[in-house]
Structure 1
Amino acid sequence: MKIECGFATVEYIVKEKSPYGLQRKFYQIAEFGVDESFRRMGVATKLINFCKQEAKNRGFDRLELDVWEFNEGAMKFYDSVGFKTYREYKEMNI
C-alpha cells in the first residue's frame, strides 16, 4: 500500500557569471507541500532532509526556495529547518 503525503518539485540550476550576475549553482525547491492530514508529523522535515542529501549527492551546496510572505506557517517551518532570507522580491500595484 502506497500512501502519498507530501511532495517536492525541484530544479538543478547552474548559472554562469554574466555582466549582470555572479556564477551560481543551486538546488531549487520549486514546489513543496504536505497533505493537511499529515502535517506536524515530521513529514516536511524528512522531505527537506531528503532534498538536502539529494543536493549534496549531486554536488550542490545550496538549497533555495520561494515562499509567499502571507504563508506564516510555511515561513516558520522553513526558518525552523535552517533556511535564511537572503533576497526579497518587491511588487507594486499600479
Structure 2
Amino acid sequence: MIKLIKCTPEDVEALQNISIETFSATFGPYNTEANLKGYLKKAYDIEVLRQELSNQNSEFYFAYEDDEIAGYLKINILDAQSEKMADDFLEVQRIYVREQFKRHGIGKKMLEFAIKRANDLGKDRLWLGVWEKNFAAQNFYHSLGFEKYSSHRFTMGDSVQTDFILKKELRK
C-alpha cells in the first residue's frame, strides 16, 4: 500500500538523504563527479532544505510503500515556484522515487495527489520541468496528460542543460 505523509522540519535529515540518493541515481551517470557533488552540496544543504520546508507556499510529502520511504514529492505555489508562472499554476518541483521502488505506481500516485492538492488550492494548471534526455519520465508525464509548454536552462557546475517545461490543464 502506498501512502503520502506530509514532511515536517524534523524530517530534514531523511529528506536530505533521499534527495541525494535519488538525484544521484537519476543524474549522476550523465554528469561529472565534480558537477554532481557541487550541485548536491548546494541544493540539498540542510539549511536550504529547512528553509524550503518552512516556506508556506511549498509542501513536501514522503511516499511510503508499506513502512519504507519510497520517494518524495515537492509542490510549490505562488512565489515558491522555481519559475515565474501565473498564480493559477501549481508546480511539481520534485517527484523522486528510489530505484528499488520504481514501476510500483508511486510516481503516478504522487502526481494524482499533486492534482488533488491543486484542486484543493483552486489552481487550474500543473507544471513541471523534465530533463530533455529523460525520455522515460517524458513518456510517463505525457501518458498522464502533460504537454510541452516551454523550456528552461538548468545549470549544474559547468554543464548547461535543457529542461522541458510540461503543463497539464486541470480545467478545460
TM-score (norm 2): 0.45
Pick from 114, 117, 129 the counterpart of residue 54 of structure 1.
Answer: 117
More strand by share: 2
Which residue in 2 is equivalent to 1:9? 74
Question: Quick one: higher RCO (CA 8 Å, sep 6+), 1 or 2?
Answer: 1
Once the two structures are TM-superposed, the CA of residue 85 in structure 1 deviates from its matched residue by 0.4
Rounded to whole Å, the distance in 2 between the matches of 1:39 and 1:9 is 18
Aligned residue for 2:140? Answer: 77
TM-fit CA distance, 1:79: 0.9
Match of 2:89 among 11, 14, 26: 26
Cα distance in 1 between the residues matched to 2:86 and 2:139:
30
**Structure 1: 4+ residue segments shifted above 3 A:** 21-24
Q: Indicate the residue corresponding to 1:18 in structure 2.
A: none
Unaligned runs of 5+ in 1: 15-20
How far residue 23 of structure 1 moved from its aligned partner, in angstroms, is 4.8
Q: How well do the aligned residues superpose, as a CA RMSD in angstroms? A: 2.3
**SS across alignment from 2:108:** helix
CA distance in structure 2 between the aligned counterparts of 1:51 and 1:23, rounded to whole angstroms: 17
Distance 1:24 1:58 in 2: 11
CA distance in 1, matches of 2:108, 2:95: 11
Shift in Å at residue 76 of structure 1? Answer: 1.1
Equivalences, count: 86
SS in 2 for 1:40: coil
Q: Which runs of 5+ in 2 are unaligned?
A: 1-65, 155-159, 161-172
